[in-house]
Amino acid sequence: MLDSEAATAALAAEFARSLEPGDVVALHGELGAGKSVFARAAMRALGVTDEALPSPTFAIIQEYEGRNCRVAHMDWYRLDGVEELEAIGVRDYFQPPWICLVEWPERAPELLPDKAVHLFIACVPDKLDARAIRIECS
Ligand SMILES: Nc1ncnc2c1ncn2[C@@H]1O[C@H](COP(=O)(O)OP(=O)(O)O)[C@@H](O)[C@H]1O
Ligand SMILES: [Mg+2]
C-alpha cells in the first residue's frame, strides 16, 4: 500500500533503477490513479532534467533525454486507432536507446511488446491519498 503521492514517487524512483534501454512499462489504472505521478518520478530517476514534464495526452508521445537512455512518455488515452501509433513508428520506441512509459496501454494492447512490464495502480476506497500497486513482468 502506498499511503501518499510521495510514497508512489519513491517507489517509482526505485523501480526506475531497474530499467534499461529497450524496456517498456505499461501503466494501467483509472483516471487520477497516479500513472503520471509514477511516470514523472521514474523519469526524474532516469535522469530527465526538463523543468516541466507535461502530460503527453495531446501529443501521444513526449521525448526526453535521460542518463544513458532516452525516455518516451506516452499516453494512448485519446488514440483514434492503432494506425495512428503505427504511423508514428511506435515500435521504434520499444528498442534501445529508448525506455518507454505508456499510460492507457489498454487502448492498443496488441501493439505492446510481449516483454513489457505491466504496472497496475488503483485507488483505495475511503483513503483519498492511498494507492495499491501491482507489478507484473510478462
Ligand atoms: N498515493 C498516491 N499516489 C499517486 N498519486 C496520488 C496519491 N495520492 C493522491 N494522489 C493524487 O492523485 C492524482 C494522480 O494523478 P495522475 O498521476 O495525473 O493520474 P493518472 O495519470 O493516472 O490519470 C494526483 O493529483 C495526485 O496528487
Ligand atoms: Mg496521466
| Closest CA to ligand 1's atom 14 | 34
Phi and psi of 67, rounded to 5°? -85, 115
Instruction: State how far Cα 57 lies from the chain centre.
Output: 12
For residue 8, how many C-alpha atoms fall within 13 Å in the half-sphere facing its CB? 24
Find, among 120, 130, 117, the residue nearest to 30 by Cα: 120
- pLDDT for the residue 66: 97
| Closest CA to ligand 1's atom 16 | 34
For residue 120, the cross-strand partners are 28, 134
How confident is the model over 61-120, as pLDDT tens digits? 999 999 999 999 999 998 888 999 999 999 999 999 999 999 999 999 999 999 999 999
How confident is the model over 39-58, as pLDDT tens digits? 999 999 999 998 888 887 77
Question: What single DSSP character describes residue 9?
Answer: H
What is the pLDDT confidence band of residue 137, given thresholds at 50, 70 and 90?
confident
Whether 120 and 134 have beta carbons less than 8 Å apart is answered as yes
Q: Which of 3, 4, 5 is the pocket-test mutation for ligand 1 (most atoms within 8 Å of CB)?
A: 5
Going along the chain from its start, the domains and CATH numbers come out as 5-137 (3.40.50.300)
- pLDDT for the residue 92: 97
Output the nine-digit C-alpha cell for 14. 526505485
For residue 100, how many C-alpha atoms fall within 13 Å in the half-sphere facing its CB? 28
